[in-house]
Structure 1
Amino acid sequence: MAASVEAAPLLAHDEGVERKPPTSSPDASAKGEHTQSPPILFSSTMSRGGYHQCGSGRRVKFYVLENQAWADRGTGYCAGVYDEKHDEALLVARKEETCTSLGSVADANGSEGTQDGDAQPQEYMLVVSESLASDDFLLHAPVIKEDVYQRQQETLVVWTALDGTDMALSFQELEGCNEVWDFITEVQNHFLLSRGLEYGKALEADLPPFELAAPTLDNLDTIYEELRISSQHSVAMRDRVVEWLLKEDYIRKLTPLLEQAEARHALPALHRLYEIMKTILLLNDNLVVEYLLQDDVFYTVAGMLEYNPEHPHLKASYRQHLSDEAKFHQVVDFDDPAILTKIFETYRLVYLKDVMLAGLVEDGLQSMLTSLVFFYQNDIVNYCINDSQLWAQLEQVYRAPLTDATRVQKAKGVVFVQHLCTMGKQIQLPGRIALFRCLVDGGVLPIIEYALGTSDAALRVAASDILSSLIEYDANSVRAYILDEVHEGKTPLLCRLQVLLQDGQDPALCTQWTEAVRALMDVNMDGLMHSPLGQGAVPKPRVDTDELLTWLYDGTMQQLLEPLLQLPDMQTLAPAQSIALDPSRWLLYSHLCDLLCFVIENHSFRSQYYILTSNVCSHVGSLLHARNKHMRLAALRVLRACVSSHNQFTYRHLMQLDVMGHVLSLLQKEAPRDNLVSSACLGLCEQLRRDNVRPLLNDIVQKHSAVLEALRTDPVAGHGISALIQQQARNQSGSPSDSDESVADSPCMNEAAAEQDYFDSEEALDVPTTGESPDLEARAPLWERRRKHEDEEDDLAERLAKRPASAHQGRPAAPADR
């Protein structure tokens, strides 16, 4: 981590000598200002006020490490800048939409090629303005004189600021990274040459030479001491140590010593090898770590780290895991050998960070390893996104006939997609969205269906994870796939989830499947890909939600909630009667009650019609008589959702079922215990009072006045029941309630009162009781019945208007048409 240093002038100068910016640009004048001389080049220096930009701005992404994850702070242009007022060099990155183009450059065609086929920049981008105090700047930080900057993967610059914040610049083209890195190097060389600085003194005194003797079991102590002292000497000495170790290929020379020490059971030598390897890792150099990830080196590193002297009687088994358990299964062919190598190195890097060095708390090393993992995974995911052949190969795997060999290959494919999704969640949002779009377009949903249909629990877990990720980022595409299956006559994915939910024994998977079903039925949620967070991703056309909901309520909802409909009818149970439920079904009932609450709250008239015609509330109400408390709470949640719907037909249905009578009986039983169940019952009563649900309030008082009077004296329930009775009395007397007075001035009150009067007078639309066989009119949707009722009233008015004037008996005749 970078330590704070005292501020010092950037440019040391003798008296009478003008200060100049840290650049070798020939355009500098005697006063240290830059003048533009045609033609404009990429290396030209431009001035705005006291700021001098050294070279064109280069397109870059700026990252900051937050909670061990790299957060994308935006895309812009970055350049090295000299601040004349404060005499310091700055790294300045500005949002790309606010940067200014000064026109084309003369050496555009002569610049080096860029990576990955990116187009070469053709214009000179001006980053600075006369002031840096605005929100358009992603970064304006002084170049630190400490050696905290690292170059990674050719286009990355990573460093730790003086306040401990880890930052990274990811350049679009290699030449841009080279230019900014040269700027940083030149400024730091200036620090080294400045008078009065510690680095200058160290340079004048000349660093001591570094060299280690050829390793043997006898001189391991000497090697460790020299390595430890040199690594703690200075930053420059540490760089010299790294350079020497890599040049001499010294770590490979330690391999025979590990084998000899293990053959002799020389525990002190093995502990010393651990200390040597730990010291090398604590050099905190990414080049050393990348060297250690090589095939023939990493195994040796793992062997040395198995012998921790802090636990002298224990030995880890890293090599056994790497050789026996960590098997690489290649499902598809990668055309690029470099990406295959990176996959191996990424696994080793994660294993080194999370397992081998788990007990080594060193912030700088952990931060550097986290950065490497992030950028390695980012490269792998980007390769998979852009390789269309990969998805074609994966599709062929799942189209192959089912044999023992193809079954194993398909299982490996599921795990491959799961690992790819897990890796994709670690990268930034635009990359994640691109990955999950490729998964949907590449035909991963049939793979999920295959895995969910197997008896292998591990494959079902993997498929559930993939499906949850797809729904989170692109639920709309999953719904479109379900509708396509419906049109083709196949078993839809949602029905497969329903069967798994009803038959599943794993509580964690049942919860995950319930959330997946809930998200698919939430037609208002399209996923992050369609949200503003998608950062410009082109959304796909929305699915016809009416078509999806029509299919859902034509029979799928009945199948989904079938276990609830198999419960006893509440009307057949006495108020004090208890029922015993199969403990293996408790979790299922709870999940289905939550799904029922969800559809009541989100599917308006469709869910209300389903409740009236299926009689599901009567079966759910029987859970009020269950011995298990959380089953009672699940039933109360459903009843509260019904009350919150503010639907008069649902209120009448609850009145016919006498639901509140069972709730009051449950409250009377649980009130002396003052537990969560009694609180939930009182919460339902309070909701009726607060919302002033007049039909239910009148029904409760008329049918259960004796129970209410008994509960009024209870120390727990008395206050809430008294308030409910008082509210019903105010309604009868016509005096406003407390809640009515608080909203009396609301502009919606007159409309709400008119609507209430309308429903109260609509006696012809009573819903048939459960025991009756409703006719076709009763089975019609509620909105159609209401429309029919209004049409009948219009017909009656029209017939009255056509009667002769004498038939009105003194009523004024309607005015004749003119």
Structure 2
Amino acid sequence: METVIESRRVKVYQLNKDSEWIDKGTGICSCLRNGTMDDALIVVQSEEDSSSVLLESHVLRDTDYQKQQDTLIVWTEPNGTDLALSFQEAEGCTEICTFVSEIKSHMLSEKARGKRKASSPLPEREPRSMAIMLPDPTLANLPEIERVVKRATRSIYEREKLASYVTQEYVAKLLPLLETCEDLEQVQDLYRLCNIMKGFIMLQDNDIIRYMLRDDVILDVVGCLEYDPDFPKHKANHREFLTKNSRFKQISNQEIRAKIHETFRLQYLKDAVFARMMDDPTNSVLTSLIFINHVEICKHFTQDEKVLDELFQILERNEESLERKRDAVLFTSQLCIIAKNIHLSHRKDLHKALVRHGALRVFDFSLSNIDTTIKAAGGDILANILETDANLVRTYNVVQHECGQKTLAETIINCLLKDDDCFTKGQYAEAIRMLLDLNATPFDISVTTAESSQARKDNEEFISFFYKHLIKNLVNPIMEFPEIADEEIPWLSFDKATLAFHICELLSFLVKQHTYRSKYFLLSSEISLKVVEFLRCREGTVKLAALRFIRACIGTKDEMLYSHFINKGKDIFGYVVRALLDTNGKDNLINSACLEFFEFIRKENIKFLVNHIWEKYGDKISTIDYVDCFKQFKLRYEQNNEVIQHIQAVSGPSQSTPRRSGNDGWETDYMDIDEENYFNTSDDEEDNVVPE
């Protein structure tokens, strides 16, 4: 094959099952063809690694390649995969489109010529390329128009020919027939108008679709689509919905205002009007148009500093009405929601611009607002910013703390503790988790070394601030929970159970993510002894959350934690044994979680815990015979002690370490060298030692 076009910089996108465009990478596009022009390729090689091929697609005769805007080509592969090429320059997009059109025209000509040769001895003639003709848009011609449109939409080739004939003027002449048919109550003609409008949209011509979405056209278009012949007994109310529910806050930029209106109508067409009757290619075209509009809207607000300044100043001015402040929060929420569907780099740019102009100040007004709509919108904004770049929020908290202000993190924790709504509690708990997850922020190649270093410093300061000033407030509801009597089985109210669940889940996360800081907090407080009491309550979700916390602590394989769990007046393992026995062998989550807890200790052979559990609770757990777990547990205990006895017998009494009491108050019969070194290490080294 010879290279016809080369060195056009593009981005490759692929539509996933959730109708979201996924960026597959940036590369250099080239086009290749053979000498007879019956085979051609579009190839995109990664600009970072020329040996990596991002795309290799054959140009096919029956594939419909759509040019959208000036820099986008969209098509569907034979296997159903939707692809798009976004060009850096409009010239490159035009050049590729021309190449594809030439190849397809040659293929169609060859196909037509081959059919004539096979079926008739008549001499060759040029293939007909006449566009499909439609009769004048009159009431009498509606049956013929419907027949032509239906036939054309069954074939890609016929659809292209019809699209070349249908113009905005033709649609404009057809739409007034809706009012005439409704006045005359011509139901069959209304059904025909619906089929014709569906057919025009399924032509997948961007110019026709955008024309139909105009302010002066859209109501007549959806009016035609209200009379669906597939559902003759159910007339839709699209015009009423668009008239009563389209409440837009006007924006000074007319072009962006038109884009916002168009996007709303596209989304309505896709989700409501065409939900039951749209084919995949048409769905892809509408999704692509929505995606393009979202990108343009987000880019505009990223660059429009005046609008962002005015927007967030509304929240700072005391004289502003609550309605204006409410609109500012809802607008920011909508902007963040549409940004979720665009590329990560554009989304980051938007969120940085929002934060730079004061977007994080919306939480002072929204998170503690009595209006649940505003509260939920504030939670959505926070979740979107944290998901994209949590470092922005951590840095903001550090600056607030340095200035002596109440931090956003404190506000979120207070909302978690005091809010009565179950949904918003979940939002706040997830926000706290994302703030504390230092490993979740994706790598960004555009970040400089200095910015990366500053982000790490801010993250470290934020985590330090959290453990010094915030964590006690977070766990305070559990610490204040009254002690449970030995035989008592407490009931928790729904609010208390929900709060206890979220706090236990956060504690489990901290144990896994922040090794030495979380360990210091656990050792210096009695939070673990309070959490384990939830194994006695009736609420299964709270029981499981408490058990997950204990299981996370055991997973650290830290003997100082094990000792802490035993020597604080309560034996945590006794609570787990009792929770297991209370299930009476029922096959449920609590039973399975308890069995996995003991199985982990056995498999990892955590000798200290194996010995302690069997010596203290062996008589109880040995009665559990519906699984082999505790038979194996007993065997592990016996094997461990046989090894110790053998070593003592071989080494003699002079070589074994005498029984002694450690600083933590627990005793052991024997210490090997690794265990001795464990207690001689500094605090900074403790996390790297794993007991055998």
Structure 2 length-normalised TM: 0.85
Change (3 A) 1:478 1:84: same
Deviation at 1:436, TM superposition (A): 2.6
* 8 A contact 1:333–1:390 mirrored in 2: no
The aligned residue for residue 12 of structure 1 is none
Q: What's the CA shift string for 1:277-308, capped at 9, x where partnerless?
A: 12222323222212211111111111111111
Q: How does 1:561-640 map to 2 (within 5 A)?
A: 561-569=475-483, 573-574=485-486, 576-640=487-551
Which position in structure 1 is the counterpart of 2:402? 487
Residue 173 of structure 1: aligned partner: 89
Following superposition, the deviation at residue 89 of structure 1 comes to 4.4
Aligned to 2:179: 259
Distance in 1 between residues matched to 2:467 and 2:679, nearest whole Å: 16
Aligned mates of 2:361, 2:380 — CA distance in 1:
15
Say yes or no: does 1:472 pair with 2:394: no
Question: Closer, same or farther in 2 for the Cα pair 1:525/1:442, shift >3 Å?
Answer: farther
Alpha-carbon offset, residue 708 of structure 1: 2.9
Choose 727-736 or 308-317, whichever is displaced more: 727-736
Q: Is the 8 A contact 1:569 1:618 kept in 2?
A: no
> Is 1:714 the counterpart of 2:604 in the alignment?
no
Partner in structure 2 of residue 184 of structure 1: 100
Are the counterparts in 1 of residues 386 and 393 from structure 2 also a CA contact under 8 Å? yes
In structure 2, the residue matched to 1:77 is 28
The Cα shift of 1:354 comes to 1.4
Please, which moves more after superposition, 67-76 or 553-562? 67-76
Q: Does 1:354 align with 2:271?
A: yes
Q: Matches of residues 296-307 of structure 1 in structure 2 within 5 Å? A: 296-307=216-227
Other structure's SS at 1:60 match? strand
Alignment correspondent of 2:10: 60
Summarize deviations over 1:318-344 as a string: whole Å, max 9, x none.
1111111121113x543xx32222221
SS at match of 1:548: helix
Residue identity opposite 1:252 in structure 2: A
> How far 1:209 moved relative to its partner?
6.6
1:395 paired to 2:312: yes
2:421 is matched with: 506
Gaps of 5+ in 1: 1-49, 100-134, 741-753, 768-781, 789-818
What secondary structure, in the 3-state scheme, does the structure 2 residue paired with 1:619 have? helix
Matched, 1:369 2:286: yes
1:269 corresponds, among 189, 194, 197, to 189
Aligned CA RMSD, in angstroms, stands at 3.5
Is the CA contact (8 Å cut-off) linking 2:413 and 2:474 kept in structure 1?
yes
Retained in 2: the 8 A contact 1:64–1:70? yes
Partner of 1:681: 594
- Which structure has the bigger radius of gyration? 1
Report the counterpart of residue 575 of structure 2 in structure 1.
662
Report the alpha carbon displacement of residue 315 of structure 1 after superposing the two structures with TM.
1.3
Any idea what SS the aligned residue of 2:10 has?
Answer: strand
Q: Give the deviation of 1:164 after TM superposition.
A: 4.1
Paired residues of 2:10 and 2:27 also in contact (CA < 8 A): yes
Q: Return closer, same or farther for 1:211/1:546 CA change in 2, 3 Å cut-off.
A: closer
Partner of 1:221: 143
Cα separation, 2, equivalents of 1:242 and 1:275: 16
Cα 1:730–1:328 change in 2 (3 A) is same
Alpha-carbon contact 2:621-2:630 (below 8 Å) kept: yes
Q: Which residue of 2 aligns with 1:450?
A: 365
SS in 2 for 1:176: helix
1:224-251, Cα deviation, whole Å (9 max, x unpaired)? 234444656883x54453343316x122
Query: 1:206 & 1:487 partners in 2: Cα distance?
Result: 73
Residues 264 and 646 (structure 1), Cα distance of their counterparts in 2 relative to 1, 3 Å cut: same
Distance 1:670 1:716 in 2: 12
Partners of 2:344 and 2:388 within 8 A in 1:
no
Measure the CA separation in 2 of the matches of 1:736 and 1:202.
101
**1:212–1:226 contact (8 Å) kept in structure 2:** no
Say if 1:421 and 1:469, in contact at 8 Å, map to a contact too.
yes
Q: Which residues of structure 2 form unaligned runs of 5+?
A: 118-123, 648-654, 667-677, 685-692
**1:458: Cα distance to partner?**
1.3
3-state SS, counterpart of residue 216 of structure 2: helix
Q: Given residue 561 of structure 2, which amino acid in structure 1 is its aligned partner?
A: T
Q: Give the Cα–Cα distance (whole angstroms) in 1 for the partners of residues 548 and 152 of structure 2.
A: 68
Q: CA deviation at 1:681?
A: 3.2
Please give the alpha-carbon distance, in whole angstroms, between the structure 1 residues aligned to 2:129 and 2:614. 97
- Alignment-derived partner of residue 383 in structure 1: 300
Cα offset, 1:383, TM superposition: 2.2
Distance in 2 of aligned mates of 1:326 and 1:77: 43
- Shift of residue 502, structure 1, vs aligned partner: 1.7
Q: Contact conserved, 1:65 with 1:167, CA < 8 A, in 2?
A: yes
Structure-1 separation of matches of 2:200 and 2:231:
20
Alpha-carbon distance between aligned partners in 2 of 1:564 and 1:60, rounded to the nearest angstrom = 55
Q: Secondary structure at the match of 2:516?
A: helix
What is aligned with 1:812? none
> How far apart are 1:150 and its partner, in Å?
2.3
Which amino acid in structure 1 is aligned with residue 138 of structure 2?
Answer: P
Q: Sort the Cα spacing of 1:183 and 1:612 in 2 relative to 1 into closer, same or farther, 3 A.
A: closer
Change beyond 3 A, Cα 1:551–1:181: closer
Q: Specify the alignment match of 1:115 in structure 2.
A: none
- Distance in 2 between residues matched to 1:730 and 1:164, nearest whole Å: 59
Within-5 A mapping of 1:224-373: 224-229=146-151, 235=157, 238-246=159-167, 249-330=169-250, 333-334=252-253, 337-373=254-290
- State the distance in 2 between where 1:513 and 1:484 align: 21
Distance 1:692 1:230 in 2: 72
The answer (yes or no) to whether the contact 2:178–2:193 under 8 Å persists in 1 is yes
Change in 2 beyond 3 A, CA 1:155/1:630: closer
The equivalent residue for 2:46 is 95
Partner in structure 1 of residue 457 of structure 2: 543
> Structure 1, residues 571-620: CA drift from partner, whole Å, max 9, x if none?
xx22x432232233111111111111222233333323322333122222
- CA deviations on 1:706-747 (whole Å, 9 max, x unpaired) are x53244233236x4444444444444444499xx9xxxxxxx
Does the 8 Å contact 1:519/1:525 carry over to 2?
A: no
In the alignment, residue 489 of structure 2 is paired with which amino acid?
S
Amino acid in structure 2 at the alignment position of 1:566? E
Q: Is the 8 A contact 1:90 1:141 kept in 2?
A: yes
SS of the equivalent of 1:359 reads coil
Letter of the 2:165 counterpart? W
Of residues 515, 520, 527, the one that matches 2:441 is: 527
How do 1:113-128 and structure 2 match up within 5 A? none
The SS at the match of 2:176 is helix
* Kept after mapping to 1: 8 A contact 2:314/2:320: no
Count of aligned pairs between the two proteins: 652
Task: Report the Cα distance in structure 2 between the residues aligned to 1:546 and 1:165, rounded to whole angstroms.
Answer: 44
Q: Which amino acid aligns with 2:480?
A: Q
Could you tell me how far apart the structure 2 residues matched to 1:430 and 1:565 are?
Answer: 43
- Taking the aligned partners of 1:184 and 1:349, their CA distance within structure 2 comes to 28
TM-score normalised by L of structure 1: 0.72
Amino acid at match of 1:149: Y
